[in-house]
């Protein structure tokens, strides 16, 4: 069973993502800050991380960059899931090391496809 770490400060978004993931057989862990997410990922690397961008403190771009540079988490795919929908945001997210960039509101089929592609690599 794949373990997915959701790093997002919105309880509503966490609920939506958790519902989709658990319904499709994934195990879910949640961190509500970038800092907490980094700590959890380094202590026990998940199969995949779903990362929000807009969070207080360490934002999703910064956290993704740190995860990709840390030896413990460099191989963990990160999918950015954000309301930021500009082309420059997507390009910047991918440059930080994200495997995919999805825009909220999330479409279940797109999320599952992105997870499948990211974890198959």
**pLDDT tens per residue, range 73-110:** 999 999 999 999 999 999 999 999 999 999 999 999 99
Write the CA distances from 81 to 30, 37, 43, 103, integer angstroms: 14, 14, 23, 6
Q: How do 27-31 and 3-7 pair as beta strands?
A: parallel
Instruction: Using the predicted structure, report yes or no on whether residue 121 has a pLDDT greater than 70.
Output: no
Give, to the nearest 10 degrees, the angle between helix 60-69 and helix 87-95.
20
Instruction: Using the predicted structure, report yes or no on whether residue 23 has a pLDDT greater than 80.
Output: yes
Q: What is the pLDDT of residue 37?
A: 98
Q: Binning pLDDT at 50, 70 and 90, where does residue 1 land?
A: confident
**pLDDT tens per residue, range 24-52:** 999 999 999 999 999 999 999 999 999 99
CB atoms within 10 A of CB 105: 9
> Is cis: bond before 119, omega within 30 of 0?
no
Average pLDDT, the chain: 97
Q: Rounded distance, CA 121 to CA 117, Å?
A: 7
User: What domains are there in the chain, each with its CATH number?
Assistant: 3-120 (3.40.50.2300)
Phi and psi at residue 76, in whole multiples of 5°?
A: -85, 120
**Contact by Cβ (8 Å): 100, 51:** no
**Contact by Cβ (8 Å): 40, 96:** no
């Amino acid at each position: 069973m794949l373990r997915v770490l959701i790093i997002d400060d919105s309880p509503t978004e966490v609920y939506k993502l958790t519902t989709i993931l658990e319904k499709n057989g994934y195990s879910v862990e949640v961190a509500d800050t970038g800092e907490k997410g980094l700590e959890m990922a380094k202590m026990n690397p998940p199969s995949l991380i779903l990362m929000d961008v807009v969070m207080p403190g360490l934002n999703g771009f910064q956290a993704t960059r740190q995860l990709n540079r840390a030896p413990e988490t460099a191989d963990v795919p990160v999918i950015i899931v954000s309301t930021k929908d500009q082309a420059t945001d997507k390009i910047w997210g991918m440059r930080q090391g994200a495997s995919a960039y999805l825009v909220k509101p999330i479409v279940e089929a797109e999320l599952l496809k992105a997870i499948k592609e990211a974890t198959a690599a």
